Amino acid sequence: MPNVLATLMLLIWPLVTVAMYAQMPVQRAVVWSVLSAYLILPAATEIDLPLIPGLSKYMIPAFFGYIAACATQGRLIPLIPRSALARLFLAMVIFGTIGTVLTNADPVFVNRETIIPALRPYDALSMVMNHLGWLLIWALAREFLTDREGVMLFARALVVSFLIYSVPMLYEIRMSPQLHRMIYGFFQHDFGQMMRQGGFRPIVFLEHGLWVAILTAMAFLTALVLARDAAPGQKAGWYRAGAYLGVLLVLCKSIAALIYAAALLPVFLWGRARLMLRVAVLISILILAFPMLRGAGLIPTDEMVEMVAGFSADRAQSLGFRFHHEDAFLDRAAERPVFGWGGWGRNATYDPLTGENLSVADGQWIISIGISGYVGFIGYFGLLAAPIFLMGRAYRRAGREVPVLAAGMALVLAVNLVDLLPNATLTPVTWLLTGGLLGYLERLGQGASEPESPVAASAAPRRRNFAGLVGATTPMGPRSLL
């Protein structure tokens, strides 16, 4: 159970978020409010309040950050993107939710004692509200991280955050993962899963050690992107940061994250921007096609398990366990492939005698398909990959070559997307990155030779911007929510 400090942190962090927007430039406030909340606040904890979404490390920077951004900028931040492709994917997510509810108006009968109720119209609102956290962060990033400085700010903040976070990570690697229990009063996951290779892997204040590992891998690769992009006198510093984070990644003891980083390391070190972007596009296409390939039996799962067994019997057993349960979920999803089964465990398989849930879902892709069907999966993952697909076309239309910074961050995003196949490591950091890249490309598509922050040109004091929310004219002109 969370202690008093965990509850207190969740209660005061809305004020911290608002203070960031009041005292910082809006670009910095967007980035640091999301990163600080996610890395510091307690995991697996939420405070339910009436009329507003529950307070959690996901919702606080999204909901209160959005309100603060609207107040300080004197306008509503639009939730609908300019890009037609991104609009299509977003529509599939939102309206697919309605389709899920309409096609699941029947209860699921497990046995006489276990009946999972049908979905009601109210559940459509609940499911849409579940999207609100990532949607608001994505919208804030898309609106304000729209120039080179915005993308650079995110990249530097991610690297600096994990240079700082390495201190508690190294403590847990040496002393065992206990910080969340010591500070917030409970351990957020299964302690046994933090024991690897005769030692420990860190979890700090995140959901699992795998989440820590993939974000460390992203920070490591981002440091290399910054080194490639930096002026000659600054390259060495970023390379040193990258080397340190690379060692930290090894100490995280996550084979998957380490394989991603090692496989793509030559591309990040020596590949041209065009190659980086092509690799990111190829990865994104394979991710969107993966469920169909997996369902058609074109993914050699048995051979993969045998290959892993040559390195570690325990890892091979874990991989085989995942594949077994994915097969069960795919069989279940095949019964309602378009809009899925909805939530509340309707997408799972059960023991007909005991009513026990026999399913274990690890990958974000199989969770999305089971709950939202292929419509929801394509919309959700397509929205994440949209800036990767749009980047090359946007720069060609602008008559410019794709720079290393943009292509490198697109490839960092692709690394996170790859990890959504074995794991559900979708975090606010992911949405911050994909939203920022999309906003960058949307402004580039408007013909700006060097995308400029939508707030950089305005030197109006914050008090005047705040007044714009209640009627004063703002330099940007009126903006609707949609």
- What DSSP string describes 27-45? HHHHHHHHHHHHHHSPSS-
Indicate the DSSP class of residue 57.
T
The pLDDT of residue 308 is: 82
The pLDDT of residue 359 is: 86
The pLDDT of residue 447 is: 65
- Of 182, 173, 175, 245, whose CA–CA distance to 214 is shortest? 245
Q: Decide: helix, strand or coil at residue 53.
A: strand
The pLDDT of residue 449 is: 53
Instruction: Please return the burial class of 215, using the count of CB atoms within 10 Å of its CB with bins 0-12, 13-18 and 19+.
Output: buried
Mean pLDDT, the chain cut into blocks of 10 residues (482 residues total): 95 97 97 98 90 86 97 96 96 95 94 90 84 95 96 98 98 96 94 88 96 98 98 96 98 94 98 98 97 91 87 82 91 95 92 89 94 96 98 94 97 98 96 98 76 42 40 35 34
CA distances, 43 to each of 131, 136, 166, 211, 464 (Å)? 18, 20, 18, 12, 38
Q: What is the pTM of this model?
A: 0.91
pLDDT tens-place string over residues 23-72? 999 999 999 999 999 999 999 999 987 766 789 999 999 999 999 999 99
Outline where DSSP puts E strands in 110-240.
115-116, 195-196, 199-200
pLDDT tens-place string over residues 168-185? 999 999 999 999 999 999
Alpha-carbon distance of 273 to 406, in angstroms, equals 8
Structure tokens at 382: 């397509």
Alpha-carbon distance of 113 to 115, in angstroms, equals 7
Instruction: Please return the burial class of 198, using the count of CB atoms within 10 Å of its CB with bins 0-12, 13-18 and 19+.
Output: exposed
| DSSP code per residue over 174-189 | HH-S-HHHHHHSS--S
The pLDDT of residue 181 is: 96
Cα torsion at 462, 428, 171, 199 (round to 10°)? -170
- Contact between residue 268 and residue 408 where contact means Cβ atoms under 8 Å apart: yes
CA dihedral over 212, 215, 220, 221, signed as positive or negative: positive
Alpha-carbon distance of 15 to 429, in angstroms, equals 21
The pLDDT of residue 253 is: 94
Q: Phi first, then psi: give them for residue 116, nearest 5 degrees.
A: -90, 125
Q: Phi first, then psi: give them for residue 357, nearest 5 degrees.
A: -70, 120
The pLDDT of residue 367 is: 95
